[in-house]
Amino acid sequence: MCGIVGYIGHRDAYPIIVKGLQRLEYRGYDSAGIALYDGTDINLSKTKGKVEDLRSKSKSTISLKGSLGIGHTRWATHGVPNDVNSHPHYSNSGDLVIIHNGIIENYGSIKKALTERGYTFTSDTDTEVLVNLIEEVQKTEDVMLGQAVQIALNQVVGAYAIAVFDKKKPDEIVVAKLGSPLAIGIGENEFFIASDASPFIEFTNNAVYLKDEEMAIIRLGKEIKLRKIQNDAVAYPNILELQMNLEEIEKGGYDHFMLKEIYEQPRAILDTYRGRLLADQGLIKMVGIDQHLEKFLNANRIIIVACGTSWHAGLVAEYIFEDLARIPVEVEYASEFRYRNPVITDKDVLIAISQSGETADTLAAIKLAKEKGAFVFGVCNVVGSSIARETDAGAYTHAGPEIGVASTKAFTTQITVLTLLALKLAKEKGEFSESQFHEILTELETIPAKVEKALESNALIEIIADVYKDSPNCLYLGRGYNFPVALEGALKLKEISYIHAEGYPAAEMKHGPIALIDEHMPVIVIATKKGHYEKIVSNIQEIKSRKGKIIAIVTEGDEQVTQLADHVVEIPETSESLSPLVTTIPLQLLSYHIAVMRNCNVDQPRNLAKSVTVE
Ligand code: F6R
């Protein structure tokens, strides 16, 4: 969590940093700050609140001059969000200034030792401890900043992406990374530093992603050299040419990123299978798998690890892999898996799903599985992310940047990749005849159009949202492939509208949740024709007889559920195994409209951050 931005070069640093921070607000937005070097001194401004608040504050309080600067948007871990705890942080002398994304776990003992040596602290943060540790090393060892950072980092335990500069040496910024992402954009005699490439994409397409335990001294007029933090080994940077463009990361006329991303799904799903799904040739081509097919085919089981929405995509994948490819699957919360001493062997394949590719628990689960000899496959959206690099092989979702904190297109594109993978394995295992295989591939090609059609219900869903926007609770029910969709619908509603919502397998309702049903309880039921339709009809009857309000997602032309439900949203007919890609659309729109009507901050819900790089 937290977003960091830095600049050193020939342009004004302030607008680059502030704009960059706004693009990184998805990573945290409870406070923000900036430090600029104006040629003589450091000007620092920071505040509780959004980057917009920082912009207003800094305009009236500091000089905005300077071509060297660092900025930060925070998601609090140590210390409440307030002005003092915001980054950047000065060292005691006022010479050094730092920004940090991550957690220094042993900051307490370091702080104690520094306090005994006379250091004082104004904030409750671990970051202020780190910058003073660097200063102490600089003084006692009489070394330059780069070396001081290296020595200090060898004393800390935790995770970090840091950028620090020294006003006595204002031609360089020192950066280092362990566990949190850090990219360096390389321009013409200028460098950009950021948690991802979005802050600098309009300036340069050339970027270096630091690996864990790497640091760099970024010096004007010099080429970048990477150094290992533990020793002095020098690595030559792998300069990547980025594919991202600016349009992709702007709102493009939509009120919110979330709405834009919901509407991008037909395109995103298509991009996910483009070049991989060759229906006319009866083929699925996935470079990341072709070389490792045997691992999958000989696996005793597949273990899927993920968090949040990605975990829900994993649950859908469990149905797909078991149903279509007949491979046993277990789906685990990465946070539980990593700590529960799981039985893993080298005959297991672990699939890690993550939009950001930076989720700390998922990364830790991957490391554990690798240690035990499992083959690890990643499904990520962010190219070059830590998970993408840590896994043995993988497939990108190609959804494009997802900025809204609530995941939407990440979910459907993850399911698309996992469906392709399952189908490929099913074909290899001979689970399908050629004609069955061709049929399902052809159907997969119709999904973008079906999603487009589902999006046409937007106006109707807005009307439904208006009826239920003040409900304190909501229940989401689905069966089979659509049970995880019910979980995902409930998660979307609670995270952006703050309404308490629960997802349940429809048949489980009678084992408890039915007690909640009365005339005030809206129940959203996924009741499409394919997949236990008659059973779902019975579940709807049970809700109806207890006066619950039913909002049903039904197949076009449905009559039975339509007669029973208070509201219906029709979606095109789809096979059961592909239906989650379509049924999830109305649920995303419902939560979006309810959140807007409740005046909630849709793209940046309270207490959340887009990538959870802390435990
Ligand atoms: C919910 C949401 C989160 C993420 C979770 C995992 O809308 O966005 O639940 O799905 O934090 O994130 P990734 O997929 O980046 O590992």
Which amino acids bring their CB within 6 angstroms of ligand 1?
Answer: 307-310, 354-356, 359, 362, 406-407, 491, 495, 611-612
Give me 350's structure tokens. 């672990």
* Span from the CA of 37 to the centroid of ligand 1 (angstroms): 36
Strand stretches in 491-566, DSSP E: 500-505, 522-527, 549-555
pLDDT above 90 (res 433): no
Ligand 1 pocket: which of 26, 338, 355 to mutate (most atoms <8 Å of CB)? 355
Q: Based on the domain organization, do 408 and 464 belong to the same domain?
A: no
Q: What angle do CA 450, 477, 542 make, to 5 degrees?
A: 125
Q: Based on the domain organization, do 131 and 221 belong to the same domain?
A: yes
pLDDT in tens, 245-299: 776 777 778 999 999 999 999 999 999 999 899 988 889 999 888 889 999 999 9
Q: Whose CA is nearest to atom 10 of ligand 1?
A: 309
pLDDT in tens, 184-238: 999 999 999 999 898 999 999 999 999 889 999 999 988 888 999 998 788 888 8
Helix (H, G, I), strand (E, B) or coil at 284: strand
In a domain, 607, yes or no: no
Q: Whose CA is nearest to atom 9 of ligand 1?
A: 308
Strand stretches in 528-579, DSSP E: 549-555, 567-571
The letter for the amino acid at 196 is: D
What's the chain's average pLDDT?
93
pLDDT above 80 (res 79): no
Question: Cα(88)–Cα(101) distance, rounded to whole angstroms?
Answer: 11
pLDDT above 80 (res 385): yes
Q: Based on the domain organization, do 411 and 480 belong to the same domain?
A: no
- 402: nearest Cα among 26, 124, 128: 26
CB 444 within 8 A of CB 450: no
Half-sphere exposure of 287 (CA within 13 A, CB side): 3
Question: Cα(538)–Cα(558) distance, rounded to whole angstroms?
Answer: 15
In a domain, 613, yes or no: no
Question: Cα(76)–Cα(397) distance, rounded to whole angstroms?
Answer: 30
Q: How many domains does the chain have?
A: 3
Ligand 1: which atom is nearest the Cα of residue 406?
Answer: 7
Ligand 1 pocket: which of 304, 310, 495 to mutate (most atoms <8 Å of CB)? 310
Q: Which of 201, 224, 247 is the C-terminal boundary of a domain?
A: 247
Question: Cα(444)–Cα(312) distance, rounded to whole angstroms?
Answer: 20
In a domain, 585, yes or no: yes
Task: Tell me what pLDDT residue 596 has.
Answer: 97
pLDDT above 80 (res 405): yes
Task: Tell me what pLDDT residue 308 has.
Answer: 97
Q: Based on the domain organization, do 432 and 342 belong to the same domain?
A: yes
Helix (H, G, I), strand (E, B) or coil at 575: coil
> What Å distances lie between residue 439 and 281, 318, 425, 445, 487, CA to CA?
12, 21, 16, 10, 29
Q: What is the domain-level CATH number for residue 71? A: 3.60.20.10
Q: In what order do the strands lie in the sheet with 375-380?
A: 329-333, 301-306, 348-354, 375-380, 393-396
DSSP string of 373-388? T-EEEEEESSTT-HHH
Q: What is the domain-level CATH number for residue 350? A: 3.40.50.10490
Instruction: Please name the residue ranges forming H helices in 401-532.
Output: 409-428, 434-455, 458-468, 483-497
Q: Based on the domain organization, do 196 and 299 belong to the same domain?
A: no
Q: Based on the domain organization, do 471 and 520 belong to the same domain?
A: yes
Q: Which of 445, 479, 495 is the C-terminal boundary of a domain?
A: 445
Mean pLDDT of 123-148: 96
Ligand 1: which atom is nearest the Cα of residue 612?
Answer: 11
In a domain, 394, yes or no: yes
Task: Tell me what pLDDT residue 231 has.
Answer: 86
* Span from the CA of 406 to the centroid of ligand 1 (angstroms): 7
pLDDT above 80 (res 244): no
Count the Cβ atoms, other than its own, within 10 Å of residue 423. Answer: 22
In a domain, 610, yes or no: no
Q: Based on the domain organization, do 71 and 146 belong to the same domain?
A: yes
Residues whose CB falls within 8 Å of the CB of residue 137, separated by 6 or more in sequence, listed in order? 143, 148, 151, 152
Q: What is the DSSP letter of 341?
A: -
Q: Which residues are catalytic?
A: 2, 610
The letter for the amino acid at 293 is: L
In a domain, 429, yes or no: yes
pLDDT above 90 (res 350): yes
Domain with 555 in it: 454-601
66: left (phi over 0), alpha (psi -120 to 50) or beta: left
Q: Based on the domain organization, do 293 and 386 belong to the same domain?
A: yes
Mean pLDDT of 551-575: 96
Q: What is the DSSP letter of 179?
A: B
* Span from the CA of 310 to the centroid of ligand 1 (angstroms): 6
Q: Based on the domain organization, do 207 and 269 belong to the same domain?
A: no
* Span from the CA of 608 to the centroid of ligand 1 (angstroms): 10
First to last CA, the chain: 10
Q: Based on the domain organization, do 92 and 146 belong to the same domain?
A: yes
Ligand 1: which atom is nearest the Cα of residue 411?
Answer: 10
At residue 455 the predicted structure's pLDDT band, cuts being 50, 70 and 90, is very high
Q: Based on the domain organization, do 41 and 69 belong to the same domain?
A: yes
Half-sphere exposure of 253 (CA within 13 A, CB side): 2
Task: Tell me what pLDDT residue 287 has.
Answer: 83
Q: Which of 223, 247, 271 is the C-terminal boundary of a domain?
A: 247
pLDDT-above-70 percentage for the chain: 100
pTM equals 0.78
Q: Based on the domain organization, do 147 and 239 belong to the same domain?
A: yes
Ligand 1 pocket: which of 26, 261, 304, 309 to mutate (most atoms <8 Å of CB)? 309
> What Å distances lie between residue 457 and 12, 178, 404, 583, 588, CA to CA?
46, 45, 21, 12, 12
Give me 299's structure tokens. 């696996």
Q: Which residue's structure tokens are 């409740």?
A: 598
At residue 485 the predicted structure's pLDDT band, cuts being 50, 70 and 90, is very high
* Span from the CA of 8 to the centroid of ligand 1 (angstroms): 33
In a domain, 550, yes or no: yes
pLDDT above 90 (res 400): no
